Amino acid sequence: MIDVQGLSKRFGDTAVLNGIDLTINDGERIVVIGPSGTGKSTLLRCLNFLDMPESGRLRIGDLELDVAKAGKADILAVRRRTAFVFQNYALFANKTARENITEALIVVQKRSRIDAEARADEILRETGLADKADVYPAALSGGQQQRVGIGRAMALDTELMLFDEPTSALDPEWVGEVLDLMRRVAERRQTMLIVTHEMQFAREIADRVIFMEGGRIVEQGSPQQLFDHPQDPRTREFLKRVG
Amino acid sequence: MQALDIDYMLGLVPVLLGYIPLTLGMATAAMVLALILGSLLAVERVVKVPVLDTLVMLFISFFRGTPLLVQLFLFYYGLPQVLSFLTQINGVTAAVMGLTLHFAAYMAESIRAAIIGVDRSQWEAAQSVGMTQTQMMRRIILPQAARVAAPTLVNYFIDMIKSTSLAFTLGVTEMMGATQKEAAGSFLYFEAFLVVAILYWIIVEALSQVQKLLETRLNKAFAR
Ligand SMILES: Nc1ncnc2c1ncn2[C@@H]1O[C@H](COP(=O)(O)OP(=O)(O)OP(=O)(O)O)[C@@H](O)[C@H]1O
Ligand SMILES: [Mg+2]
């Protein structure tokens, strides 16, 4: 289980997260929606310590900490319990598709090369990229790169997978294949926290949808509740605008 | 104007060729050491360890800000007077040390620029999978920076080969020192120095070809 309490973050004088409280059950798939600049990315980045949160408590499985007091070891521990899928893929440019997946397994998790490569090949098959194993990211399409990005995150077997607008940078023709892969990840009851503008997709896979605005969680509920019967005027306003 | 003594020049070539191993040896040793030191300095300049950072900046500023010849004299003739354990230092060691420190300072700046040029997404991806700072640098950032810095670093190596000629001022008989001796014996200064100039030129041209090959190879590997 993941438990976030009073998570806050400011950039200079602007408060970007204002005390986020969020409990995520094992296997739960949560979609976060909300207007631009509301802190959705920042929330995900703080859960992976890519951005340093300022205050709040964080519990991921057996790890519990006061984020304000997090030291180097805590930061690594949190990062090793969460996996991040980036909007711009962020594949290691000097590594092939297979190496992108094995890299952290070997270097961070200290698994043997043979073991890591077997796992990578398994994942490349699942993501439909078996024939691209030895190709560098620059020679892959956006959709293929993002599937490797998701594969790299899957291989880590973390307690939480974070997706920050994984299809927003893609040409429309590649969006479908990436969403399909995410559906397959979701079917395994992998705990997921997803920021996306794909409302139909959210409806299909989310156990819970969260609407954020101004660094706060305004409203949350099942997709039916939130999309069909939004309670807060701000949620209604936002949903009307995105159609 | 007198005619060039071609026979003398041709006779000098095999003599001077015998000194190429020493010249290239000094340059290669200094290059390897300067690459290691330069990378460490560059990483420090990026990570900025308090106090150490000031020392590193001072080091780089000094070795870029003073002539190589002055640095070599400082090492070879000066330092043993204040540090008694250095009395045994020979010219070759002093030259390699001097070249290392001098070129490390220059390389540090190029490598630092290349490191900073690596896209932010690469740093974040490495952090997100839980790599330590050292793992991130060694496995992701430095290899990508090396690719950008490689042509500049080969230029420094070329410069380094030419700079080994200064070792003759420390009493080392390398290619330049040997030429000096030969010329003093024959009084054919123009012929002797022309031969050695052409030899340096050929070595550098050969390296420039290697540099071109290297660049095409690097560009064919992962693209940006
Ligand atoms: N590194 C940073 N430095 C300063 N301000 C930042 C930084 N990162 C984000 N911000 C600010 O924090 C606020 C929240 O940004 P964030 O990226 O979390 O929003 P978002 O909800 O993900 O928006 P979008 O839908 O556009 O991706 C914005 O006002 C943004 O300008
Ligand atoms: Mg965002």
Could you report the per-residue pLDDT of A17-67, keeping only the tens digit for each? 999 999 999 999 999 999 999 999 999 999 999 999 999 999 999 999 999
Token pair recorded at residue A136: 């560098």
Token pair recorded at residue B26: 């000094």
Instruction: Work out which ligand 1 atom sits closest to the CA atom of A215.
Output: 14
End-to-end Cα distance, chain A: 33
What kind of architecture, by CATH, is found in domain A2-198+206-242? Answer: 3-Layer(aba) Sandwich (3.40)
pTM of the prediction? Answer: 0.86
ipTM of this predicted complex? 0.94
Q: What is the mean pLDDT of residues A99-104?
A: 98
Please give the helix or strand (H or E) that residue A1 lies within, else none: none
Cα(B23)–Cα(B38) distance, integer angstroms: 21
Token pair recorded at residue B2: 């007198």
Distance from CA of B47 to the nearest CA of A (A): 15
End-to-end Cα distance, chain B: 57
Q: What is the mean pLDDT of residues A167-180?
A: 95
pLDDT score at B10: 87
Cα(B91)–Cα(B73) distance, integer angstroms: 10
Whether pLDDT at A173 is above 70 = yes
Give the number of whichever ligand sits closest to the CA of residue A197: 1
- pLDDT one-digit tens code per residue, B159-193: 999 999 999 999 999 999 999 998 888 898 888 89
Q: Which of B131, B147, B222 has the CB atom closest to A108's CB atom?
A: B131
* Helix/strand/coil for A93: coil
- For chain A, give every domain's residue range: 2-198+206-242
Question: What are the CA-CA distances from residue A84 to residues A8, A44, A156, A217, B17 (Å)?
Answer: 20, 8, 10, 21, 58
Phi, psi of B206 (to 5 degrees): -60, -40
Query: Cα dihedral sign for B83, B87, B92, B93?
Result: negative
Asked if residue B127 lies in contact with residue A80, where contact means CB atoms within 8 angstroms, the answer is no
Please give the helix or strand (H or E) that residue B170 lies within, else none: none
Measured by CA distance, the residue closest to atom 2 of ligand 1 is: A11
Residue from A31, A40, A46, A238 whose mutation best tests the ligand 1 pocket (most atoms within 8 A of CB): A40
Cα(B75)–Cα(B101) distance, integer angstroms: 11
Query: Cα dihedral sign for A36, A40, A41, A43?
Result: positive
Q: Which residues of chain B lie closer than 8 angstroms to A73, CB-CB? A: none
Structure-model confidence comparison of residues B43 and A243, the more confident one:
B43
pLDDT score at B79: 83
pLDDT score at B220: 67
The pLDDT confidence band at residue B218, using thresholds 50, 70 and 90, is confident
Beta-carbon pairs below 8 A across chains A and B:
69
**Hey, what amino acid is at B50?**
P
Q: Which residues of chain B lie closer than 8 angstroms to A94, CB-CB? A: 140, 143-144, 147, 222
pLDDT score at B1: 65
> What dihedral angle (degrees, nearest 10) is formed by the CA atoms of A40, A43, A46, A51?
30
Q: What is the mean pLDDT of residues A156-166?
A: 97
The pLDDT confidence band at residue B222, using thresholds 50, 70 and 90, is low
Fold of B20-171: MetI-like fold (1.10.3720)
Whether pLDDT at B56 is above 90 = yes
Q: What is the mean pLDDT of residues B71-90?
A: 83
**Hey, what amino acid is at B13?**
V
The pLDDT confidence band at residue B216, using thresholds 50, 70 and 90, is confident
Q: What ranges in chain A are assigned the alpha helix state H?
A: 40-47, 72-81, 97-107, 113-126, 142-155, 172-187, 199-205, 223, 233-242
- For chain B, give every domain's residue range: 20-171
Cα(B103)–Cα(A66) distance, integer angstroms: 47
The secondary structure of residue A208, as a DSSP letter, is E
Whether pLDDT at A143 is above 50 = yes
CA A8 / ligand 1 centre spacing (Å): 14
Do A93 and B132 lie within an 8 Å CB cutoff?
A: no
- pLDDT one-digit tens code per residue, B89-135: 889 999 999 999 999 999 999 999 999 999 999 999 999 999 999 99
Do B223 and A139 lie within an 8 Å CB cutoff?
A: yes
Give the nearest chain B residue to A135 (CA atoms): B222
pLDDT score at B221: 62
Radius of gyration of chain B (CA): 21
Cα(B21)–Cα(A104) distance, integer angstroms: 43
Q: Which residues keep their CB under 5 angstroms from ion ligand 2?
A: A 41
Q: Which of B125, B135, B144 has the CB atom closest to A90's CB atom?
A: B125
- What is the share, in percent, of chain B residues with pLDDT greater than 70? 97
